[in-house]
């Protein structure tokens, strides 16, 4: 039950009607009898600054931001953690004594999702599609291990920037996203991480990539989960973006509550709500 001393978390984005984060958090809070609530708010670009000020004034105990605010919010915060600073994008904000601190959990959330499928991202060949904030976060994190990473993007200059920002021991190269580069990349990779809003199955059919290449490809990890489509069996298997969502929620929980998150409970909250398990 929401009471006068309930701690409130929020989500700012537009559109947010499809968001599954409230399900994960509120079910988990209820099951653990935590006096907390998670409320999504539809916030337009024009209103983001006021919404952030409102979070301060109303004393939200931390909040999430999603599209289209992940970059715009940077200048409205008091401090950024290293991953947010590197990727120039924020998805989790903590309310601290010293003000609002921005975090980016995309990289760590992706790594935890991969591990939960038994995929250890070390000494691997990884193809990354897209070069926005999410790609920056995952490339930065994966280049910290001994991986060979190839970035393909529609805009070459952005792919170059992401590659240049990767400072780890991994080898990082980049190129233009096109039929031939995607074919070659899929043939070579153990894992394809697609951070663009276009699903890999759609890209593959639009670009007419031959079936044998698709079948033999490595694991496929599409970040986009907002369009409810059945995953098309592709390559060795698909890493569900829902698993990533659960781990990102767990990372927010850890940042806000400063304790280990109940990941299995968070996952089962979503599985029960959707009526299907993705693993
Ligand atoms: P996020 O924070 O989720 O990474 P973003 O910063 O907007 O979001 O980045 C989206 C990425 O998807 C970009 O790399 C974008 O390509 P450009 O750099 O050329 O803009 C890519 N993207 C978006 N729409 C695309 C499309 N229709 N085809 C291919 N790539 C696309």
DSSP secondary structure string, 122-178?
SS-EEEEE--SHHHHHHHHHHTTTT-EEEEEESSHHHHHHHHHH--SSSEEEEEE-S
Q: 157 CA to middle of ligand 1, Å?
A: 13
**Which pLDDT score, from 0 to 100, does residue 87 have?**
86
Q: 129 CA to middle of ligand 1, Å?
A: 9
User: What three-state secondary structure class fits 266?
Assistant: helix
Q: Residue 121: which of 105, 134, 140, 102 has the closest Cα?
A: 140
Q: Over range 182-188, report the average pLDDT.
A: 94
**Which pLDDT score, from 0 to 100, does residue 17 have?**
92
CB 269 within 8 A of CB 24: yes
pLDDT at 97 over 90: yes
Cα(109)–Cα(126) distance, integer angstroms: 17
pLDDT at 233 over 80: no
Express as a percent the part of the chain with pLDDT over 90: 84
Residue minimizing CA distance to atom 9 of ligand 1: 132
Regarding the beta carbon of 134 and ligand 1, being less than 6 Å apart is answered yes
Q: Over range 189-217, report the average pLDDT.
A: 91
**Which pLDDT score, from 0 to 100, does residue 231 have?**
54
Regarding the beta carbon of 132 and ligand 1, being less than 6 Å apart is answered yes
Cα(247)–Cα(112) distance, integer angstroms: 7
Q: Residue 243: which of 225, 226, 258 has the closest Cα?
A: 225
Q: What is the mean pLDDT of the chain?
A: 94
Residue minimizing CA distance to atom 22 of ligand 1: 196
Q: Residue 199: which of 158, 235, 233, 227 has the closest Cα?
A: 227
Which pair of tokens denotes residue 193? Answer: 């991480």
Q: Over range 121-141, report the average pLDDT.
A: 94
Q: Which residues contact 38 (CB under 8 A, 6 or more apart)?
A: 8, 9, 10, 11, 21, 22, 25, 26, 29
Poorest-pLDDT segment among 146-160, 185-199, 214-228: 214-228
Q: Residue 124: which of 215, 201, 221 has the closest Cα?
A: 221
**Which pLDDT score, from 0 to 100, does residue 228 have?**
53
**Which pLDDT score, from 0 to 100, does residue 121 have?**
94
The angle, 0 to 180 degrees and rounded to 10, between the axes of the packed helices 241-257 and 263-274 is 140
Atom of ligand 1 nearest to the CA of 70: 2
Q: 197 CA to middle of ligand 1, Å?
A: 7
Regarding the beta carbon of 200 and ligand 1, being less than 6 Å apart is answered no
Catalytic positions: 70
Look up the pTM and report it.
0.92
**Which pLDDT score, from 0 to 100, does residue 211 have?**
87
CA angle 190, 194, 198 (to 5 degrees): 140
Q: Which residues contact 235 (CB under 8 A, 6 or more apart)?
A: 186, 192, 214, 215, 216, 217, 218, 219, 220
């Amino acid at each position: 039950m929401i009471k006068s001393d309930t701690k409130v978390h929020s989500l700012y984005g537009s559109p947010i009607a499809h968001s599954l984060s409230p399900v994960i958090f509120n079910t988990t809070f209820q099951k653990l009898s935590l006096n907390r609530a998670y409320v999504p708010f539809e916030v337009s670009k024009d209103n983001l600054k006021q919404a952030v000020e409102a979070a301060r004034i109303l004393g939200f105990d931390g909040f999430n931001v999603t599209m289209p605010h992940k970059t715009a919010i940077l200048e409205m915060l008091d401090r950024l953690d290293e991953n947010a600073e590197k990727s120039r994008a924020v998805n989790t904000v903590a309310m601290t004594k010293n003000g609002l601190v921005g975090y980016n959990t995309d990289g760590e959330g992706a790594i935890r999702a991969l591990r939960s499928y038994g995929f250890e991202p070390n000494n691997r060949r990884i193809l990354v599609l897209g070069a926005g904030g999410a790609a920056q976060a995952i490339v930065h994190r994966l280049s910290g291990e001994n991986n060979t990473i190839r970035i393909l993007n529609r805009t070459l200059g952005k792919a170059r920037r992401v590659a240049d920002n990767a400072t780890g021991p991994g080898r990082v190269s980049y190129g233009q996203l096109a039929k031939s580069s995607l074919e070659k990349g899929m043939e070579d990779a153990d894992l394809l991480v697609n951070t663009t809003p276009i699903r890999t199955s759609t890209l593959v059919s639009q670009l007419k990539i031959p079936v044998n290449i698709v079948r033999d490809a490595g694991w496929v990890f599409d970040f986009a989960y907002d369009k409810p489509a059945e995953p098309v069996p592709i390559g060795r298997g698909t890493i569900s973006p829902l698993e990533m969502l659960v781990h990102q929620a767990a990372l927010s929980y850890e940042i806000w509550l400063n304790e280990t998150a109940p990941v299995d409970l968070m996952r089962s909250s979503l599985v029960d709500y959707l009526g299907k398990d993705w693993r």
